[in-house]
Structure 1
Amino acid sequence: MPQDMVFDRKRLSDSDLLHFYEKLLMPRKIEEKMLLLLRQGKISKWFSGWGQEAISIAAVMAMKEEEFLLPMHRNLGVFTGRDVPLDRLFAQFQGKVSGFTKGRDRSFHFGSLEHHIVGMISHLGPQLAVADGIALASKLSGENKATLVFTGDGATSEGDFHEALNVASVWQLPVIFVVEHNGYGLSTPSEEQFRFKQFVDKGAGYGMDAVKVDGNNVLELYHELSKIAEDIRTRPRPFLVEAMTYRMRGHEESSGTKYVPKAYFEEGRKSDPLESYEAFLVGIGLLDSNARRAVESRVDAQIEAGLKAAFGAPTPEASEKETDDVYCPFTLEVTLPETKDVSQKRLLDAISDALRWSMRKFPNLVLMGQDIGIYGGAFKVTAGFLDEFGADRVRNTPLCESAIIGAALGLSIKGYKTMVEMQFADFVSCGFNQIVNNLAKIHYRWGQHADVVIRMPTGAGVGAGPFHSQSNEAWFFHTPGLKVIYPSSPQDAKGLLSAAIEDPNPCLFFEHKALYRSITEQVPDDYYTLEIGKANLVKEGNQLTVVTYGMGVHWAKKAIEEHDVSADVLDLRTLLPWDKESVALSVKKTNKVIILHEDSLTGGIGAEIAAWISEHCFEWLDAPVMREGSLDTPVPFAATLEADFLPERRFREKLLALLAY
């Protein structure tokens, strides 16, 4: 029998209390069925929330239907509590086409905007920042809505936990962080995860209120969450809620529970949330054996009907269409300038101009980054923006790349557009996971686009050393779902950045720092866009082809002019997707090709392009495909070392060798 647990119904009616019971029973019954199906080999994996159901159900009941919940592995009750159709839920578990991810992901790694649920990724912590973005969108829109996100006590060891709570507190976001404190992160007990005793002790450090609640007492947690949610809807600010509970099965079924002391399970069984609540209802005369059987029969029937439909659903078949969902469908309608007015602009001016026009064109566009407010950004791209557009839309951020990129995704889920400025492209490594595992995969996984542009000041030649000079575009070139753009001129930069902001897909926009103030050209003053994915033939010739981008365009033009070489200089402009058609046309015309990029040679983008040319244009080649890049070292600081690191000299030598081949 469960230990005595005090349930305070407050103003809940009898029907409310029975509704809670049915909501609690559903995930437990599904668990029983799934564990059986797992043993029968009919599902491949199961993450159990047995013993933690009250937390999910309390959250569902406390939050309004139109408010977002962001669950984790053990929050089955969030999905059933929000009445997600069981046939689709079970199809999801079985990898069927009718599941939310069409067989592309498993368990709860999905979301449903219809049900205001945003699912997790396996990296756990990044989920918290997404909740920040959703809460920020609610605050900016004046919706008076709260957002609730779950995390486990183990996941709080990740830096994303700190970043998300810090941002939420600094920006006073209406988000409830619920820590499901069950004492374990997989097999690692709490004492090996952190030195403090309770998570509520962290609240003061973040400047937010924190409360500890019995997570197995569904009514106690419901009343607490209801009170908090009601409060922060009108007085936006974050709350940290520590829900004490027990994980009564393994991290997932194959991991077992041998590492857990028997006393833990004995305590957990005495505090079972379903049995305790049943005993309470029996004690007040609301539930007898007949009523219980009636509820169980109703729940069982729903589960069986859902399973029958899921088992009958088709399994996914591999086809060429599998790539269709990697990107959110979008066709840019190229915009031409309304007037012929032009003026001389540097690369930096053109980028700033594109942002300003886009801010005026899209009232739902929010700019975020370190020091982009009064200071105007590290390179002054956003100078003056704060005065024109205000602090809500031009947001100085704490120093936390992961949380800000995650928040940008949350804003996108709520219909906003976001531009995130990296102070230097090098610093994007601190937000790498959010980009390659969250932004890039979310549309492929469950059809949610990520309308986010990340500006990346990049490149060497400015004496900035190893941590402010890297060319890291190849890190992202390999990641389906991203678009990677790298202009070489002011005119291209303005049109392509405007197009990137229009595009609902995640775009990384590289800007060479050494070109910011060193090149100028006549650029239209009005708003306009250029097609993403289309290369630009900046110079025409017939002796050979140079395929390049960014600073490489300027090195190539200089070299062929000084050596009187007749060459096509093809500026890719977009690296992902790259313009294979234009490359092939030029190679077939000149029959010789060299690929140039500033990035280190090994593993650079040139390697992929060279391989593609060798495979698809071999019969037109009169010489080996050549390529040149920087040395395979970090970027050095001293000017003499940096000059040797960069490929300009070696490119000239290889260009002449190719010409003479």
Structure 2
Amino acid sequence: MHYKRNSIDNAMQLKLYQRMLKPRLIEERMLLLLRQGKISKWFSGIGQEAISIGVTSALTEEEYILPMHRNLGVFTARDIPLHRLFSQWQGKAGGFTKGRDRSFHFGTQEYKIVGMISHLGPQMGVANGIALADMIQGIKKVTAVFTGEGGTSEGDFHEALNLASVWDLPVLFCIENNGYALSTATNEQYKCKDLVDRAVGYGMESHILDGNNVLEVFTKVDEICKSVRKNPRPILLEFKTFRMRGHEEASGTKYVPKELLDTWEKKDPLLNYENFLLDEEIISTAEIESLKNDIYAEIDFNLKKAFEEMPIESDALKELNDLYAQFNYKEAAPNSEKAKIRLVDAVSEGLRQSMEKHKELVVMGQDIADYGGVFKVTEGFLEQFGRDRIRNTPICESILVSMAMGLSIKGVKSVVEMQFADFVSTGFNPIVNYLAKIHYRWGQNADVVIRMPCGAGVGAGPFHSQTNEAWFTKTPGLKVVYPAFPYDAKGLLVTAINDPNPVMFFEHKALYRSIYQEVPTSYYTLPLGQAALLRQGENITIVTYGMGVHWALETLDANPDIHADLIDLRTLQPLDTEAIYRSVRKTGKLIILQEDSLFGGVASDISALVMENCFQYLDAPVKRVASIETPIPFAKNLENIYLPKVRFATELLTLLKY
């Protein structure tokens, strides 16, 4: 291996060696502890230390790094106390996730590190979001994100590179090409000669580096970082290296030809660099032994500290309390001036006034800028707030959600518009696996609202008509809002944006321009988790939300002899169970109406909750009414068969007679 000192002084060369040596010695100890059953799993980065150390050493301490499993050197080079790392790997309280996640699945704002999730791809978008926040705030920084060559096959990788290039985001996309994605060799993963060949298609600068040569890595990345800080742009870096051990220790390396292992063993980044330093008389064997002894002592001291820490203790209440970031709701009372507006106008007004209040709030989505969005919610926003905050995007729902997560890590609120709620399926992974889980995992909030134009009744067919709230009410960590009236839509959207937690905000398309209401012109809030009692009666309780509210109102208006409590849930998570129980205890009968298909919907959970908590008050079985178990058809007469509007009136009358 050929080393070029360039202008790197002896002190820095020694620092690079020390930084490589520490993770190697830690790893060797961890492998021993793994065999002894004292840790549960290990992803070895032996043979790849030069990449982590070279890249981390080229960044400033205030620049974010988003590492992977095999980047222990990132954590140690940022001087994270070893006892905290060791506690993390043992699932103890001294770690970073309170025992809720393992190994390197954590982040820390203190050390500007954001650990990966097992789904890999979203990490790229999070890096984009961090870089976007820096750019909007006028901060000249670089963000570095790691992936393996296996992760480059994911769609998120391509979405992230494309958008980073279009927006000139200062991100270093670092590919550790170590030969295998678990056991899948590179010739089964991609056809191009080098992964950096893909950069041409994105109009992006790229470089191939010897990932086992720490001086080459540090020198080139340092040069690139200085350039990117002056001239923000994304860079694709491919580090050629090799994984000397299994994907994780249990999987082994039997699938790797022995001659390949032998070849790469000779390229060991630590031993080769050590020999270079000895030859250059920058270090002596005595100094190496002394350095190793110091590191061993540090490891032993911190292992003892971590092992002596008691197993973590908790209870269900503590766990539930950590699901969401704390939100102290503050009421903003409306003014007395009102205007009769549509639901779509109320959403637009709430979003506009929120952007005026939160000066860094960013809105992202397809066609939302010059065009004003397909439903014209953001019409005129571009002229008022500018392109930094009203960001037109390519079709890339997945990476948009991840970018919103990155913005939140930098303290920037965002609203992501799904052009149609149906399209959220392509962004499903980062919503349910990143936004929903991140606060519970390591205390980082996801300050994101995702707007979801939804619903049938407009003849839009199977891909533009779903009301898919149940996909998200099932997922702990998300809040779900579904207003039926303009007044509620505006106040609840404002609160959702104020809330530092991820909120799925459903807006029924068929209600956008059909429902008018007198709405205060000023900025105001409404609390999440409070249902509205729209009608009062003794005969029966009707629980519904969204379009179901208007179907129920029509049915009651057509049957004035029915005296019902009509509850509009307004928010589905948190759910106002007490309002439901209070009404059922009074009426003794409950019918639940939802537009979604029946099985697995919100109505099923409400029914179960009432059966468990109000059974003694019931005079009849709880009845659920919903759409039939098919996709949503296009033709009007078929859509009418699908939807439960007509069936609801029949079922309501039948239940009243029970």
User: Normalized against structure 1, the TM-score is what?
Assistant: 0.99
Partner of 1:388: 384
Partner of 1:28: 24
Task: Render the CA deviation track for 1:231-276: whole Å, top value 9, x for unaligned.
Answer: 1111111000000001000000000110011122112111101001
Deviation at 1:389, TM superposition (A): 0.3
List per-residue Cα deviations over 1:528-551 (Å, max 9, x = no partner): 000001111111111100010000
Q: Could you tell me how far 1:135 is from its partner in structure 2? A: 0.5
Amino acid corresponding to residue 609 of structure 1 in structure 2: I
Q: CA deviation at 1:318?
A: 3.8
**Which residue of 318, 321, 325 maps to 1:321?**
318
Structure 2 residue identity aligned to 1:628: V
Structure 1 SS opposite 2:76: helix
Equivalent residue for 2:643, pick from 639, 642, 646: 646
SS at match of 2:419: coil
* Structure 1 residue ranges (4+ consecutive) displaced by more than 6 angstroms after TM superposition: none
The CA distance in 1 between the partners of 2:148 and 2:437, in whole Å, is 23
Mapped to 1, the partners of 2:325 and 2:81 lie a distance apart of 25
Q: Which amino acid aligns with 2:368?
A: I
Q: Which residue of 1 aligns with 2:108?
A: 112
Residue 415 in 1 paired to residue 411 in 2?
yes
**Amino acid of the residue matched to residue 473 of structure 2?**
F
* CA distance, structure 2, for counterparts of residue 375 and residue 312 of structure 1: 61
Distance (whole Å) between structure 2 residues aligned to residue 538 and residue 267 of structure 1: 75
Q: Where do residues 174-573 of structure 1 align in structure 2 (5 Å cutoff)?
A: 174-319=170-315, 320-337=317-334, 339-564=335-560, 565-573=562-570
Q: Distance in 2 between matches of 1:495 and 1:552?
A: 20
Aligned counterpart, 1:54: 50
Partner of residue 7, structure 1: 3
Q: Within 2, Cα distance between the matches of 1:450 and 1:264?
A: 44
Letter in 2 for 1:623: A
Deviation of 1:306 after TM superposition, in Å, equals 1.2
Q: Displacement of 1:317 after TM fit?
A: 2.3
Supply the distance in 1 between the matched residues of 2:225 and 2:281 (Cα, whole angstroms): 31
Instruction: Find the aligned partners of 2:142 and 2:385 in 1 and give their Cα distance.
Output: 25
Question: Does 1:90 pair with 2:86?
Answer: yes
Give SS of 1:560's match.
Answer: helix
Q: Secondary structure at the match of 1:423?
A: coil
Find the residue that maps to 1:145 and give its secondary structure.
coil
Please list the CA deviations of residues 563-619 of structure 1 after superposition, one character each: whole Å capped at 9, or x if unmatched: 121101101111011001111111111111000000000111100000000000001
Give the counterpart letter for 2:324 in structure 1: Y
Which stretch shows the higher mean deviation, 181-190 or 13-22?
13-22
Q: CA deviation at 1:107?
A: 0.6
C-alpha separation between the residues in 1 aligned to 2:550 and 2:537? Answer: 16
Separation in structure 1 between the aligned mates of residue 47 and residue 279 of structure 2, nearest angstrom:
21
What residue is the counterpart of 1:597 in the other structure?
594
The equivalent of 1:125 in structure 2 is 121
Q: Which residue is 1:39 aligned to?
A: 35
Two-structure CA RMSD over aligned residues (Å): 0.7
How far did residue 12 of structure 1 move? Answer: 1.9
Distance in 2 separating the partners of 1:331 and 1:460: 35
SS at match of 1:617: helix
- Structure 1 residue 622 and structure 2 residue 619: aligned? yes
Partner Cα separation in structure 2 for residue 393 and residue 285 of structure 1: 55
Cα deviations by residue, 1:178-199 (Å, 9 ceiling, x for unpaired): 0000111000000001111101
Alignment partner of 1:607 is 2:576? no
C-alpha distance after superposition, 1:329-361 (max 9, x if no partner):
112111102x31100010000000001000000
The separation in 1 between residues aligned to 2:393 and 2:181, in whole angstroms, is 30
**Deviation at 1:427?**
0.2
Q: Distance in 1 between matches of 2:176 and 2:646?
A: 59
* Counterpart secondary structure, 1:221: helix
- How far apart, in 2, do the equivalents of 1:123 and 1:250 lie? 19
Matched with 1:150 is 146
- In structure 1, C-alpha distance between the alignment counterparts of 2:582 and 2:312, rounded to whole Å: 38
Deviation at 1:314, TM superposition (A): 2.0
> How far is the alpha carbon of 1:149 from its aligned partner?
0.3
Residue 14 of structure 2: aligned partner:
18
Letter in 2 for 1:256: G
| Secondary structure in structure 2 of the residue aligned to 1:633 | coil
SS in 2 for 1:546: strand
Aligned equivalents of 1:54, 1:613: Cα separation in 2: 59
1: CA distance, partners of 2:309 / 2:320: 22
CA distance in 2, matches of 1:439, 1:520: 34
Distance (whole Å) between structure 2 residues aligned to residue 98 and residue 594 of structure 1: 49
Alpha-carbon offset, residue 512 of structure 1: 0.2
In 2, the alpha carbon distance for the partners of 1:455 and 1:538 equals 25
